[in-house]
Structure 1
Amino acid sequence: MFPYTHSLSPFLLEFSQGIGLRWYGISYIAAFIFAAFIIKWKVKDLESSLKVKEVSDFVYFVAFGILIGGRLGYCIFYAPHLFLEWHSSFPFWGILELHKGGMASHGGMLGVIAACYLYARKKQLPFLHLVDLAALSAGIGLFFGRLANFINGELYGRVCVEACAFGVRFPQELYRWLQEMPSKLRALAPLVETMSAKNIGVPGEVINAEIWNSWITQLLSHSSSAQYHVNLWIHKIILLAERSNPMVVDGLKVLSVRYPSQIFQAFLEGFLVFVVCFFIWQKPRPLGFITGCFGLCYSIARIIGEAYRMPDLSIGFQWLGLTRGQWLSIAFIILSMYFLLFSMRSKEKTL
């Protein structure tokens, strides 16, 4: 069974090519539903100034904060070029191209803090108490989000040994080959030749191993024409892998065996952080204390999880060999320590 070649579809239901009900969207819906249940339970358990009937309204606010903050965070921290990208087709601006993916958990957390602040002002409620409630439920949302990352085959792990008991080959790695190591694409020659012969390749293109290898040679000389054709075939290979085509899945054994870092992060950043925060809040805590605990636990878990994850293709490793996510987590540790110190020194009541 292992190493396993990833062949999961990003769609629960696909109505036409590229359009349908995505697991990533379902993960957000599941996260918000579970968050509402957790917050309602905690509100009933505490002498909370947030009423049970207000929880749904509060979760809607937080949801918008996550979506806006997550997207803007991704654009600021990982893809600032999107601010300057404009297209002639809808939605016109690169920042609004949510269908192409791109969310940052650190940005989402900042969005949650902003949403809690606005809701607190609107309803005249304690800001730190609202952030604590959101922080308690955040781990479950991160858990579902990382599982969706795995289903999508994105944000995959670093290379592990071939004999790794849980190693995975991710077809999305082909895009990394195209950008960083195009010569490795020669290993796909037998697969694309067979696909072409069986008429399941790129429509209108009949190729063999010789043509494929000539494209790779041209690609090494930065030929835009060769890159266009190779990109079409890579997209087709990944599409067929997502549909569990046995011939394509077998042909992708040339890929590197990698850690399923998304699963590691789902457990560390999501489930484990939630459990820790849940048990910490079994007795009254100062306002803001749970937020600080969540931020500290999440940041440590993220730093550990990122040690198994490949950095973003457009960014790579940074100073001291750390990833952008690890450096952002270090900044969040400082912010979390501020929340903890502020809450312990605060004279506001405990909940």
Structure 2
Amino acid sequence: MRTSPTGPAGPARTRFTPRLRAALAALVIAAAGGTTLAGSPASAAATSTSTSTSTSGDTTQFRGVNWADPRDNFADDPVVLSGLSTSDSYDRTYAKASRVISAFRANLGANTVRLPINPYTANGSYWKSYRGVIDAASDKGFKVILSYWEGTGPRKDGFIDDQATFWPMWNTVVKAYKADKRVYFEPMNEPHGYTDAEWADIAAKWLDTYPSVPRNRVFVSGAGYNDHVTSVCADPRLKGTYLSLHHYGFWKSYATYDQWVADLKERIGDCAGRTVADEFGAPMTTGLDYNKPAPSDNYVNYVQAVTDTFRELRMGSVYWPGLRTDDTYTLQTLTGDPDRPWLATTNQSGADRLAWGWGRGKPVRP
């Protein structure tokens, strides 16, 4: 998830989350006037020129949204998605999730949902109920990306939070869903704090640990805050996997349309054929119109630029967030009976641009 320095969840949110640290770092870098973020995607791109394992084709089969915990997915307890409760049984969770997934399809044309997991969820008593979300989405024909999110505390052993809980979590999740062809696995969301090489080693270890999982059902995150995929694309040990990229407008206080296009393409390099932007987003509840050019508005430039680029490069994308209560970026909001939830679109122009990026709809930028 993205948390801007002001915080989409409101002033009550004071926790210095990993995403907040990313936001601050990105703004500092943007203020320096360059387009390259920490992690040096430009130098990684140079490496990928000679060793890239990118594949031809496209990833437009992934047309999705993130469904998130209202508190943020960086949690030190089970992740509980907006509209759900730890007191819900499996059957109740399944019923609620079925309606939310149906609304994602009806309102947005989505066919993919990205969901968070953590050790507190998969290794605890809530796992039985939480599986109702995954099962409901799969049964509705959705692709499901399960992504591991760290908690807020320091890493206990210098490797992912805590190996003593990380690997049992993935053992549980892989055992439950390796046979479901609609379920995809993302070993770690935003692997910040590791060098590009260290993160590639961890991703390779995950693949070696679960050889029964087909590589085309694994999303290897871009290095750093998922902010560039060029280095993981260049690593032959990760061949055959999808790559996940995150990209946000708040990373720069202002950029033109062309600058945003250049920034995004630099982070992708020649790896678009394997890459899905499984987080990108902008304010949706503040009244911005993303269908009209507005050269002086950073967020309008950003949204138009990235969706045009996704369409041009035939890249799939998964919006952040499709649903997160009290987030100004949310593209959907809960309506009706909480036991029989439905969704309403918060910004039709944002939904239009999302569809445009997916290769649908009519052009809205001259």
The alignment's TM-score, normalised by the length of structure 2, stands at 0.25
Which structure dedicates a bigger proportion of its chain to strand? 2
Greater Rg by CA: 1
Which structure dedicates a bigger proportion of its chain to helix? 1
